[in-house]
Amino acid sequence: KKDFDQALAKYDVLISPTTPTIAYKAGEKSDLLSMYLGDAYTIPINLAGLPAITIPAGFVAGMPVGMQIIAKHFAEGLLYRVAYTYEQNTAYHREIPAFLKEGE
């Protein structure tokens, strides 16, 4: 929490990937530890009690990736404004992954 507080004293928001890896297709993973580690970037934020929002940030190898925006306590309004501004200037939130279009 102390590290987050120091960073948020300097910056209005922090931005990170939502997960450490790209998304995997449904049923592709069955290892519970690997699936649990997919939350490695969001758990510290939750434990610190900080507000955060995740939004679509594009695609890697045809799979969606997310961007996590983190703010100070009680700055949820700022999170919504940053997320809204990003989405107004990109089209990622409107795009459908190719594998869904192809019916995989």
Q: For 21-33, how does the pLDDT look when each residue is reduced to its tens digit (9 = 90+)?
A: 887 777 777 777 8
Structure tokens at 11: 């910056």
What are 64-95's pLDDT values in tens digits?
A: 899 999 999 999 999 999 999 999 999 988 88
**Segment 28-44 mean pLDDT:** 83
pLDDT of amino acid 38: 83
**Domain-embedded: residue 102:** no
Give me the residues paired with residue 17 across strands: 67
Average pLDDT over residues 43-61: 95
Token couple for 19: 């997960």
| Domain boundaries, position 13 | 2-96
What total number of domains does the chain contain?
A: 1
Please state, in angstroms and rounded to a whole number, the distance separating the CA atoms of residues 34 and 14: 25
